[in-house]
Chain A
Amino acid sequence: MNTASPVSTRFSMMARFLIALGNEVRKGLRFAWSERLQILIELPMFGVFILLLGPLLGQGGDIAAGEVEWTLDSETTSILLVWFIPFIFFYMQVVKMFWRLLAEIQAGTIEQVYLSPLPSWLVAAAGRVVAAFLETLVVAAGTFAIVAPFVPIRIDWNAAALLPAAMVMLAGIGFSLIIAGATLVWKRIQLVNDTVLTVVMLFSASAIPLIEVPDWWADASHALPLTDSVGSLYTALFTGESITSLWGIGGLVPLLVVSFAYLGAGILAFGLGERTAKRRGTLGSY
């Protein structure tokens, strides 16, 4: 006779959940450690990109006239960081998820993962998301640390920025799940992946006052996952205004709706990709 109480059963389920999550995180970080050299090579590139972009952004006319001033403006670089670090986070989350999953499909280990009695969303998705998340946090912090010694970064850190920061993460997780679901079905989708990431980066730039974009561009950029998060971050960290304004770039409504929509779409897409791959018998095929 089963004498386990509902509380102990719930505790046991929770323990199992945490063990499984920790297991995947440990594996992800173990792989990250084995790729530490690549990460160390990548890190300065992000910093260099920001430092180079700082003097060039918005100076098209000067560049054409050959009169670029190579000075690092503190305000511009600070705003660039607020745009680019969320993007790095988003980019790394998606890219890590894609390549790790593809590597497991190529190696065939993904099928062993699916032989787990635990729910597949836990072992195949959640663990990877958390591992990529932790890894990406390190890279984003590293990028900030590389840029900061070259230019005084003037950001008014305040708690209001936590909401858009959380939404960046939520949208990143959602989008990485969409990519993961598509990877389970179509495998080599890195071109699509890279194209979409570039579009996300370009359109999210409309949320910061360094580039002027046409209205249609600004309107369309709401549909992409980063724009309103970056806009809201800019509002919180540079303008001293409240982030509770409902509409416009960085408005509360588009920020929450778009971020949660991407998370929902990601969960849906991953489940759909998984079902399709199992139906086609291509879960572990490459």
Chain B
Amino acid sequence: MPTTVVDEHMRARTRPDAAIELDGLGKVYGRGEKAFAAVKPTTLSVPWGQVIGLLGPNGAGKTTTIKMLGGLVTPSSGTIRLGGHDVARDRSNAVRQIGAVLEGSRNVYWPMSAWENLMYFGRLKGLRGGEIKPRARRLLTELGLWERRNETVSSFSRGMQQKVAVSAALITDPPILLLDEPTLGLDVEAARTFKDWIAHLAADEGKTIVLTTHQLEVAQELSDRIAVIKEGEIIADLPTAELLARHAEDRFEVRVATGSLDVLARVLPDGATTEPHDDETRVTLRDTDEDTLYALLAQLRAAGAPLVSVARAQPSLEEVFLRLIHADDDSVGDDDRVGDDGANQPTQAKETTS
């Protein structure tokens, strides 16, 4: 029997387990021979309060997914539920659950002041002036913009403009935040402030956050869970720590003073890589046991190469990401996809683990 909007309200009255539920969500652009699957049918569930990093190369389908979540792009298949509300059938209540900062957009009106923007977006989302003002004041104060609230956004730095965009997205205090490349184009300091703010929203305010970024150290730091998308398909979806652990290896990093290159060339074992760095050279030994490490250290000592440090290292998210993206489809482990404990179950996955 088809569900009605009333059913949608009844369903949403009791808070569902998941903040975001995608069921077979897919998007195909074009028709016939020109058809292109931007997002292959995907089933995904994001629990309340989780920060999920959606990573992938350009054109992987991240932005299309984010825009489908906001109802800005019509899916070709599947359903989306935000806080239990179906985006297609109950759009009004579904979009009340979200605030979004979209990539490549100004997100706010530059000819208007920060204050005017927040008032505008608050009213646009159905609030009254009295409800908006205290929240706008708090947001602008927390982001250090209160003193400049009456200046037009066009006069702000990129970082400040982005802060206004996030404030506008948060003006209704939505439980879900969609952040598409939020730190793009920000300088180091602004990006740091922004990152701290996102961490605060997740940790202190319990926001569910979908984050896409090409800055993988940002994703690694902020995300509880990472989903890697390649050619419209989720090829990995795990808690961040688990994803890194699954790709961990016996790896050591040896640093020797520059000037030891001749020695290194003679003694390095197969597979070791070197990387000059300021006044030292970093040697990375992958898939190496401790015996090989000690043998190398002995040789370096015998040759008189000045040792700076030795450490056990783990691959960064960036390395794991590149490994996943460049791996052949068949070689991506099914165990990179999580199972039925509130997470991803891609409809096209060959196998999932629980």
Bind each other: yes
Q: Interface of A with B (CB < 8 Å)?
A: 16, 19-20, 22-23, 26-27, 30-31, 34, 107-109, 111-119, 123, 275, 278-281, 283-284
| Separation of A108 and B107 alpha carbons in the complex (Å) | 6
Q: 5 nearest interchain CB pairs?
A: A108-B105, A23-B123, A281-B73, A117-B92, A107-B106
Residues on the B chain within 8 Å of A283, using CB: 72-73
Partner-binding segment picked from B96-104, B226-234, B238-246: B96-104
Residues on the A chain within 8 Å of B38, using CB: 281
A-B contact count (CB 8 A): 97
Considering the complex, give the chain A residue whose CB is closest to the CB of B124: A116
**Contacts A27-B109, A30-B111, A108-B104 known; A115 to B70 CB distance under 8 Å?**
yes
| Separation of A278 and B75 alpha carbons in the complex (Å) | 9
A117 touches B73 (CB 8 A): no
What is the distance, in angstroms, from A187's C-beta to the closest C-beta of chain B? 15
B106 touches A23 (CB 8 A): no
B107 touches A112 (CB 8 A): yes
B106 touches A115 (CB 8 A): no
| Separation of A107 and B109 alpha carbons in the complex (Å) | 8
Across the interface, B126 reaches (CB within 8 A) one of A16, A34, A284, namely A16
- Starting from the known contacts A116-B126, A117-B125, 10 additional A-B residue pairs (CB-CB under 8 Å) come to A19-B128, A26-B120, A108-B105, A108-B106, A114-B70, A115-B125, A117-B126, A118-B124, A278-B73, A281-B64
Is B27 an interface position by the 8 A CB rule? yes
Considering the complex, give the chain A residue whose CB is closest to the CB of B121: A112
| Separation of A280 and B72 alpha carbons in the complex (Å) | 10
Considering the complex, give the chain A residue whose CB is closest to the CB of B174: A115
**Contacts A117-B95, A281-B64 known; A107 to B110 CB distance under 8 Å?**
yes
A112 touches B100 (CB 8 A): yes
Considering the complex, give the chain A residue whose CB is closest to the CB of B105: A108
What is the distance, in angstroms, from B15's C-beta to the closest C-beta of chain A? 17
Q: How many residues of B contact A (CB 8 A)?
A: 36
Considering the complex, give the chain B residue whose CB is closest to the CB of A33: B111
Is B74 an interface position by the 8 A CB rule? yes
| Separation of A30 and B112 alpha carbons in the complex (Å) | 8
Consensus secondary structure, chain A interface: helix
A114 touches B72 (CB 8 A): yes
Is B210 an interface position by the 8 A CB rule? no
Considering the complex, give the chain B residue whose CB is closest to the CB of A282: B73
| Separation of A116 and B122 alpha carbons in the complex (Å) | 9
Residues on the B chain within 8 Å of A118, using CB: 92, 124-126
B126 touches A109 (CB 8 A): no
| Separation of A75 and B108 alpha carbons in the complex (Å) | 50
| Separation of A231 and B168 alpha carbons in the complex (Å) | 49
In the complex, per-residue mask of B59-91: 1 if CB is within 8 Å of any chain A CB, else 0 = 000001001001111100000000000000001
| Separation of A280 and B73 alpha carbons in the complex (Å) | 7
A20 touches B105 (CB 8 A): no
Is B93 an interface position by the 8 A CB rule? yes
What is the distance, in angstroms, from A137's C-beta to the closest C-beta of chain B? 22
| Separation of A111 and B108 alpha carbons in the complex (Å) | 10
Is B116 an interface position by the 8 A CB rule? yes
What is the distance, in angstroms, from A1's C-beta to the closest C-beta of chain B? 11
**Contacts A30-B112, A117-B92 known; A275 to B126 CB distance under 8 Å?**
no
A-B contact pairs, 10 of them (CB 8 A): A30-B112, A111-B100, A112-B102, A113-B124, A115-B72, A116-B126, A117-B91, A118-B124, A278-B74, A284-B104
Residues on the A chain within 8 Å of B92, using CB: 117-119
